[in-house]
Amino acid sequence: MDKWVYRFDEGDRSMLALLGGKGAGLAEMSRAGLPVPPGFTITTGACNAYYARDKLFPEGMWSQSKAALRHVEEQTGKRFGDPANPLLVSVRSGAPISMPGMMDTVLNLGLNSATLPGLCALTGDERFAWDAYRRFVQMFGEIVLGVPGEKLARALEAVTGRANGGRGNGAHREAGLGVPALRGVVDRFKGIIFGEARQAVPEDPEEQLRLAIAAVFDSWMNRRAVDYRRLNRIPDSIGTAVSVQVMVFGNAGEDSGTGVAFTRNPNTGCPELFGEYLTNAQGEDVVAGTRTPSPIGHMAEALPDTYQEFRDIARRLEAHYRDMQDLEFTIERGRLYMLQTRSGKRTGQAAVRIAVDMVGEGLITRQEAVQRVVPEQLDQLLHPVVDPAAAAPMLATGLPASPGAAAGRAVFDADEAERMAAGGERVILVRHETNPDDFHGIVAAQAIVTARGGMTSHAAVVARGMGKCCVVGCDGLQIDYGQQLFAAGGRVVSRGDWITVDGTRGAVLLGQAPTREPALDEYFDTLMGWADAQRALKVRANADTPADARTARRFGAEGIGLCRTEHMFFEGNRIDAMREMIMAPNAVARAEALTKLEPLQTRDFEGLFEAMDGYPVTIRLLDPPLHEFLPRHEETALTITDLKLKLRLAANLNEIDALLREINVKTAILAQIERLAEANPMLGHRGCRLGIVYPEVTEMQARAIFTAAVRSQERGLTVIPEVMIPLVAFVSEYESQEKLVRRVAEQVFASHGVRLAYTVGTMIELPRAALTAGEIARRAEFFSYGTNDLTQTTLGLSRDDSARFLPGYVQRGLLADDPFQTIDTGGVGELVQIGLERGRAARPKLKVGVCGEHGGDPRSVAFFHTAGLDYVSCSPFRVPIARLAAAQAALAAPAELARQAESVAAS
């Protein structure tokens, strides 16, 4: 750590962590003999030391920087601060992981009142020198001294004539400003800077450099950089490097320019040079959008020789790095200089095509192609997306619970959503939050928006499972159910108004923003085939309906890992039969009500077995507390009040009699709601506890499962039913329900004269179940970890209520991740491993999977692979993501073992 500074000729691509992406790229290009202006890089370690020393440069860094600067002077024959032959430099950031636009840059550093005449004399172009000085003063004032950029921009606009209705000196861009105007702009800038910062831009070039380096280090912790790292899960500890490089000038005339290009199209992956350039401009002009650049292909006409040289270098760099490159370049008086090469950011579609194409071109292997695509990028291929060119006003932002895009009319009630959808309307369901009673509205809606809730809330889980886009936790949404409207973003949206939901970004937009339907192509199929050949983990889907199951199979699911039977009860008029069962005064009446549901469940299970012909189907018995199937307390009480008001106004006996009967029915429902109410329902009367108290419910569901299985087998289908008993804490609970399931199975087999293989297992979603897994495994034939509830019960966190504060925990660094999105390996993950080890100690061939939302999270999938699970199960639209993540986990495991072996050998 004594060496804080590396000249470009001292580094290479292997020093990425130390020199950052920009520094390592510049060093590698320099070593390859490409036209790179000389310079040096201050390491990421220096950045970390800077913060560790309370924003003081580490010992020796500044002296090493000055020594490196002297070497650059020798290379160029120029001197930093020399009035006759001044050396000018740029100061740029560059972290090991690309963070485009998040940190700061200062150009033309070294100019002052003494060196400005020297630059004029050297170039023979006074206007160019003053324009360079104007740019330097503007950037230094904003970035280093903290002057609001808009104040400086307004001062420039007043001169160029873009402000004040075209008044000013008549020039409409900076390139049209003459020397007197530029002198005036610089003077105005200096006045604003001193007024705002109470200090002037330093005249001493070394002081300029020292302050600029510190400013780039400071930008590592600016808000946008921190937010970007939080969003992309980049650790603060990697730091940023700072590259100091000799300036080359793209604003030196019409034979000069600057540009950014990609060696392949970053949107589509097409193997074509893609980018833009500007003549007579510096780099920030392209980025800031102050001028409209031209497509890179136009450069072939204006500067054909330079364009061909650039194409050749681009091909050479892509072949060298074996990846699509993001390039920055400047042309000074016809001579090309390379300023950056790094792996380019790309869309999901482009990532897939580039990876597949590069295998065909012999640049990378199939295994490398599988590792090149970020699993989350596949979301972009599976859901509609809002057209990037859309200009719809933003109403609110929240959590991107389920990706995609949809437009529809705002509605605030599930019944209304169903009615309007049945009439052919596209609707968006807007709620404070949803519960299972809203299921039919969710089915009918194009998308769901909630003001409350987190990434694993009801709305989020159900929407992801159905492939519908969803935004939750929109704090800025003020919903008024009574007035049927919501207020957000300074606007009011009433029932029936059009809105667009962007579930990929977590945004709600006003009006009908145009969307694009993604299409899966042969590149996707090829990559996923390679991924499947590598992975050890099976991937199943959480699917509750035949339509979900068919979607899951289309995306490559190898079975159903979780069918939530309760969701079936909310379709159509089934909820009435379910409520009749709940209201029944005794077991006989309950059984009678259940006979109405049994044929419907049987038909649903047949649909699942048909969709999953030859693959296992895990069906969870009824899990949620019964009160979730009843109307909300407040709605029922209001209905009774309304009926009583109508009763007072009733004019005839028939109307009075009908109202009294309805009041009695609603009053009985209200009494049952109050009787079933629980202070903490998620830890109350639910799961296997329901089946123990109401065994007729378990009997009906088991009979429907095995009847459907037998009928499906008789039709020639290969049926593999797995019956899962939920929320088991004690093995005695499991034994009670298992005996009942097996007894019903034997009855069905006997009545049909047919037998088939099946298994009975349990969900591990309570800490006690994980700790006593050995005892439970002596009876259970499989385990499936319900990590949603296991996370709640282990951490003592409600997944819905904690959405109010957990994002703050992540933002403040108290937690690396939301534990409901990425598994808490140290706590919940430890219980998973304990349960796995103890379960397989008792039953060596115990099949173990996971069916919580973590089954579709790539980093969680990697943990489950390492832990030794057999499969993960996730929402149908996350199946491809889990397949790719499982393959990457399998490919990473040998590399990690090799690394550990090397470490052991070295020690």
Q: Per the structure block, which two tokens stand in for 289?
A: 């959008």
Question: What is the full DSSP assignment across 419-468?
Answer: HHHHTT--EEEEES---GGGHHHHHH-SEEEESS--TTSHHHHHHHHHT-
Q: If you average pLDDT over residues 387-413, what whole number do you get?
A: 87
User: What separation in angstroms does the CA of 26 have from each of 45, 238, 311, 329, 338?
Assistant: 18, 19, 18, 12, 8
pLDDT at 167: 41
pLDDT at 166: 47
Q: If you average pLDDT over residues 271-277, what whole number do you get?
A: 89
Q: If you average pLDDT over residues 11-31, what whole number do you get?
A: 94
Q: Tell me which of 895 and 370 has the higher pLDDT.
A: 370
pLDDT at 1: 61
Q: If you average pLDDT over residues 626-640, what whole number do you get?
A: 80
- Per the DSSP assignment, residues forming a β-bridge with 40 are 7, 244
The one-character DSSP state at 200 is P
Mean pLDDT of all residues belonging to the chain: 89
pLDDT at 630: 75
- Residue 417 burial (10 A CB sphere; 0-12, 13-18, 19+): buried
What H or E segment, with its residue span, contains residue 260? strand 257-262
pLDDT at 70: 97
- Residue 25 burial (10 A CB sphere; 0-12, 13-18, 19+): buried
Phi (first) and psi of residue 240, to 5 degrees: -120, 145
Q: Rounded to two decimals, what is the model's pTM?
A: 0.79
User: Among 71-85, 153-167, 306-320, 628-642, which is the least confidently predicted range?
Assistant: 153-167
Question: Is residue 889 over pLDDT 80?
Answer: yes
Q: Tell me which of 584 and 398 has the higher pLDDT.
A: 398
Residue 907 CB contacts under 8 Å (≥ 6 apart), including other chains: none
Q: State CA 805 to chain mean position distance.
A: 19
Looking at 586-694, list the stretches that DSSP marks H as alpha helix, in order from N- to C-terminal side. Answer: 587-611, 633-649, 653-676, 688-693
Question: What is the full DSSP assignment across 561-596?
Answer: EEEEGGGGGGSTTHHHHHHHHHH-SSHHHHHHHHHH
Q: With cut-offs at 50, 70 and 90, classify the pLDDT of residue 289.
A: very low
- As annotated, the active-site residues are 458, 851
Question: Is residue 627 over pLDDT 80?
Answer: no
Residue whose tokens read 């639910």: 686
pLDDT at 407: 92
Q: If you average pLDDT over residues 495-499, what whole number do you get?
A: 96
Residue whose tokens read 């509750």: 544
Name the residue among 111, 91, 561, 121 with its Cα closest to residue 283. Answer: 91
What is the Cα–Cα distance from 166 to 164, expressed in whole angstroms? 6
pLDDT at 901: 42
Percent of the chain at pLDDT above 70? 93
Q: Per the structure block, which two tokens stand in for 746?
A: 């034997």
pLDDT in tens, 834-888: 999 999 999 999 999 999 889 999 999 999 999 999 999 999 989 999 999 999 9
Q: Per the structure block, which two tokens stand in for 511?
A: 């009006």
Q: If you average pLDDT over residues 671-680, what whole number do you get?
A: 79
CA atoms within a 13 Å half-sphere pointing along the CA-CB vector of 826: 4
Q: Note whether 431 and 443 are within 8 A (CB).
A: no
Q: Tell me which of 577 and 469 has the higher pLDDT.
A: 469
Residue 303 CB contacts under 8 Å (≥ 6 apart), including other chains: 255, 257, 331, 334
- Strand pairing of 720-725 and 759-764? parallel
User: What separation in angstroms does the CA of 771 have from each of 497, 599, 868?
Assistant: 53, 38, 17
CB neighbours of residue 100 within 10 Å: 12
pLDDT at 899: 53
Q: With cut-offs at 50, 70 and 90, classify the pLDDT of residue 906.
A: very low
Question: Is residue 314 over pLDDT 90?
Answer: yes
pLDDT at 102: 75
